[in-house]
Every structure is written in C-alpha cells, then in structure tokens.
Amino acid sequence: MTAESSPLTIAQLAKLAGVSTATVSKVVNGRSQVSSETRAAVEELIRRHGYRRQRRRSTPTALVELVFHALEGDYPVEITKGVAEVAREHELTVGISDLRCDHAAGDAWLEGVLRRRPSGVIAVFSGLTETQHEQLARREIPLVLLDPADVPARNIPSVGAGNWNGGLTATRHLLELGHRRIAIITGPDSALSSRARLDGYRTALDMAGVPIDPELIGRGDFLIEGGLDEARRLLRLPDRPTAIFATNDGQAIGVYHAAHQLGLRIPDDLSVIGFDDLPSVRWAIPPLTTIRQPLAEMAAAATSMLLKLANGEQLPQSRVELATELVVRESTAPPALPPA
C-alpha cells in the first residue's frame, strides 16, 4: 500500500479487478468457488492498496480454536488441559480441529474457522501458509503457534520449550552414569524440536570428548512404531548402545518393546530416557526417566497471549520458551560391567 493512498472498499477492489463484489467478498472471507487466477489478482490488489472493512464487523464468538496436526496419545490431552484452564477463566469454550498428521492447515479448515469467527486460533505443532495467515489477519482473528514445527515467522507469536537444553540434559545424565555408547532416536527431520534435541545431544557428547558415531543416530517419527523399528536396528548392532535417548516418550515406549523382544532388561542391560514426561510413562515398567516438557503450562501461556491479542493488547515478547527439566525414575542406571 502506498503512503498517499487509503485502503479500498470491496466495491473499489471489484472495479479494479473487473469482477463482482460477491467475488471479492469470497476472496476477503477465504471462501471457495473462486478461480486461483482471480483469487491471486484480488489478493495482489489488497496487498498493493489495502482493504477497508465495512464497520459492520461481526463480534467474535466466545471460542478458542485449537488445531492439532494429529489427535493421538497423551500429548494433545495435556495441551487441551492447559488451554481449557485459561479459557474457562474467561468464559470461553474450546473447539478442536485435527489435521490428520498434516503439518499444514488446508483451505477447507480455514473456511470453517472464518465461518466460526473464533476469538483466536492456537496451532499446535503445525503451521499456516502466508496466505492463510493474511486471511486470518484480515478478519482480525489472532494466531499463536504452540510447539511450532518450524521456525515461526517474526510476526507470528509462538510458545515452545527448551528443546536444545533438554537434549543436552538428557545426554549429560547418561554420560554422568558412565555411558559412552549412547544412541539417539530423533523425530522427523522437518521438526524444529527434533533438530534442537539432536543438537543438544551432539553438544553434550562433544563437550564430554565422546566421538559422535553416525550409526548411533536413529531417524524416528515421534511415534511408538518408529521408536520400535529404530531400537531394533540399534540393539542388533555388533557394538550395541548401552543407553538410548528417545526424543519423545512415545518412541521410548517403542524402545521398551524392542528391548523386551531381544531379551534385554531395562535398566540392567540398557538405559532409556525419553522426552515429554507424559502422565502414562510413570506407570511404565520400569517407570521412565525423561525430560519434562511443561505442555499444559505452554498451552496456558499460548492461550493467555492469544487473549491479549484478541483484546487489542501488545505482547511484551512474541517468542516464549519454557524450561525443561530432568525427571529421574528407574529406567536409567550405570552401564553393566563387561564379563570378567
């Protein structure tokens, strides 16, 4: 938008684009039934000139839209608890969307959000395209990313955990117990949290003077099955690891299953440490040593940020990172002495 021009109305945009006001309205409100060429032309005009919304603005519904890339396991439960606690204090309800393992929201999801007009959107371990973010911004629907899958854009607020420090702490714990053959099972390469935890692991080994063996780096997917498959491979190596750092608790449970299948006892023959501290892992046999990621607190922080934005307040900081901590239980111990 140029400095001397003022934002245009729907009627003015329609005239410039050579289309009907109904077509421009569909583009502005994120609806379908508009060709990609027409949509692109109208959006370019909006970028260039701006858009002046008519002051018949609808009131947001008392709803926080919570969108997950997948609704599986304890992780979304802990997140939902944190969001619901803050929402309840402000007499808001929580709506939940499931992207079915897709880290990018689709247009159908966005159309539904624009129709519902929530007070704001919290996207968990997922993201929106630049165009989708612009559509939310035009409707004045704030967005906060929680545990973002990738580095957030500078103008999008986000809440995460100290993943690098958590990876460092987990690996140091195993080193302090005397382990040197320490394997790691990462999450997807595309996940920011996975990359940070792997970097923390590498740093801890480097600081201890322990060479990094590429064979001990397993590529997982943050799922139990991925942990099981990678643990089987690692535990069948001629010089197998004496400890495994699984970068989330689900993969750690997969390691437990692989160890059982191969006749290895935890922690006598193999130490295992996870990441998350989900409620169920304290009931694993033996109870899992892990890195606590404060999921409910992260969710509560994201919701508080969202409500500030919905009320037109400025955030003191756009990026919030909560600390992780080591929780020692019974799945880690010094490595077994080699037979005499």
Task: Name every residue whose Cβ is closer than 8 Å to that of residue 337 and which is 6 or more positions away in sequence.
Answer: none
Between 339 and 76, the more confident residue is 76
Between 16 and 231, the more confident residue is 231
Calculate the alpha carbon distances from 74 to 8, 23, 48, 227 in Å. 47, 43, 45, 16
Confidence band (pLDDT; 50, 70, 90) for 340?
A: very low
At 61 the pLDDT is 85
Calculate the alpha carbon distances from 42 to 56, 78, 329 in Å. 22, 41, 58
At 91 the pLDDT is 92
Confidence band (pLDDT; 50, 70, 90) for 118?
A: very high
At 104 the pLDDT is 57
At 262 the pLDDT is 97
At 56 the pLDDT is 45
At 4 the pLDDT is 44
What's the burial of 11, exposed, middle or buried (CB within 10 Å: 0-12/13-18/19+)?
Answer: exposed
Averaged pLDDT, 222-233:
96
pTM: 0.81
In angstroms, the CA 216 to CA 135 distance is: 45
At 2 the pLDDT is 46
Calculate the alpha carbon distances from 335 to 175, 197, 216, 244, 258 in Å. 10, 23, 17, 12, 18
Torsions phi, psi for 311 (to 5 deg): -90, 5
Confidence band (pLDDT; 50, 70, 90) for 239?
A: very high
Give yes or no for residue 33 having a pLDDT over 80.
no
Confidence band (pLDDT; 50, 70, 90) for 66?
A: very high
Averaged pLDDT, 286-290:
98
Averaged pLDDT, 148-156:
85
Averaged pLDDT, 148-165:
91
- Model confidence over 271-285: pLDDT tens digits? 999 999 999 999 999
What is the average pLDDT score of the chain? 89
Give yes or no for residue 322 having a pLDDT over 90.
yes
Residue 51: what residue type? Answer: Y
